[in-house]
Structure 1
Amino acid sequence: MKKQFNRMKQLANQTVGRLIERRMELVRVVSHNTHKKMVSCLQGHIGAEAEKRHKKLPLTALSQAMVEGGTQLGEDSSIGKMMEVCGEVENRLATELMQHELQMEKEVLDPISQLAEVEIPNILKQRKQLAKLVLDYDSARARTSSLQTCTVSSPKKATTPTTSSR
């Protein structure tokens, strides 16, 4: 009866283990896909230094074109002044966008990536190792228990000294 109970317990643990692994894999895939979609929304290049990222933003190129266009029209032209001011504003917007993307990368994208690529695989690996160790522990405990019952049920026979009579 006890063996059947232990076998049913083991089957239940395996079933729950498979469900947990499926859920963890689902979380990993969702985290990975979310990271990819969020990276695709960024205008700068992920992982690049701030200056390089700032130079590659479309707003930066547009702001430089506006400033150059305003300079070509001349300082006396109101359109030229307006283009220079617009170029400076766009440059500030590009700086704000770059800072926002850097902060978002640090606070959101890096943790999601860490979760999907490092944490979840480690959890699954350690979980498998734990299950193996628990099985080893249970079998060692069962062997110890069976050895103890064997020694209790058949204790050594006591020998009494015999006296010989002549």
Structure 2
Amino acid sequence: MKKQFNRMRQLANQTVEKRLELVKQVSHSTHKKLTACLQGQQGLDADKRSVRLWQGSEAAGRAAALGQKMLRLCGEAEDKLAQELIHFELQVERDVIEPLFVLAEVEIPNIQKQRKHLAKLVLDMDSSRTRTSSQLTCTILWPKK
């Protein structure tokens, strides 16, 4: 009976390890794909992104100086869209990409490490329980005189 229990426990541990590894791979690949989808560079603040993303609005600003109202309005609309895109990307980084990275690179390895440590402690507990039980049996069967 104990052998069957140990086999089932070992099978359950292997299943959990496989699932943890799968979650780690999925979160890591999702992090990579989301990072690749961003148009700006990851980790930059909004001001630096706006300079890198929409340098075309500079040309629209020069045209506005010439008095072309339509180009000025288009430049302003483009600038507003750029700012919205920048804020959206920053929010996606903060709310989705960073937690996925932490999950894949920090939390799952910690869980795996703790599981291995727990398995070792359970083995130690089982062996000491067996030793204690055998010593009690020996004491009961052959009492000291």
Q: Same fold (TM over 0.5)?
A: yes
* Superposition pairs of residues 72-151 of structure 1, within 5 angstroms: 74-75=66-67, 80-151=68-139
Out of 5, 8, 11, the position equivalent to 1:12 is 8
1:84 match: secondary structure: helix
SS at 2:40's partner residue? coil
Which amino acid is 1:154 matched to? W
Provide the residue aligned with 1:65 in structure 2.
Answer: 59
Kindly report the root-mean-square deviation, in angstroms, between the aligned alpha carbons of the 2 structures: 1.2
Give the whole-Å Cα distance in 2 for the aligned partners of 1:108 and 1:132: 35
Counterpart residue number, 1:163: none
Aligned residue type for 1:61 = Q
Count of residues in Structure 1 that have an aligned counterpart in Structure 2: 145
Q: Whole-Å Cα distance in 2 between the matches of residues 62 and 54 of structure 1?
A: 11
Instruction: Choose the corresponding residue for 2:35, options 26, 32, 39.
Output: 39
Could you tell me whether the CA contact under 8 Å between 1:31 and 1:112 is conserved in 2?
Answer: yes
Deviation at 1:67, TM superposition (A): 1.9
- Say if 1:67 and 1:85, in contact at 8 Å, map to a contact too: no
Task: Structure 1: state its 5+ residue gaps.
Answer: 158-166
CA-CA distance at 1:14 after TM superposition: 1.3
- TM-score, length-scaled by structure 1: 0.83
Which 4+ runs in 1 deviate beyond 6 A?
none
Residue 21 of structure 1 pairs with residue 8 of structure 2: no
Deviation at 1:70, TM superposition (A): 3.4
2:37 partner letter: C
**TM-score, length of structure 2 as denominator length:** 0.94
**Secondary structure class of the residue paired with 1:47:** coil
Over the matched positions of the two proteins, sequence identity in percent amounts to 50
SS across alignment from 1:127: helix
Distance in 2 between residues matched to 1:151 and 1:118, nearest whole Å: 49
Amino acid aligned to 1:131:
A
Cα deviations by residue, 1:30-64 (Å, 9 ceiling, x for unpaired): 1011111111111111111221122111xx21222
Q: Is 1:54–1:98's contact at 8 Å kept on the other side of the alignment?
A: yes
In structure 1, give the amino acid aligned to 2:64.
G
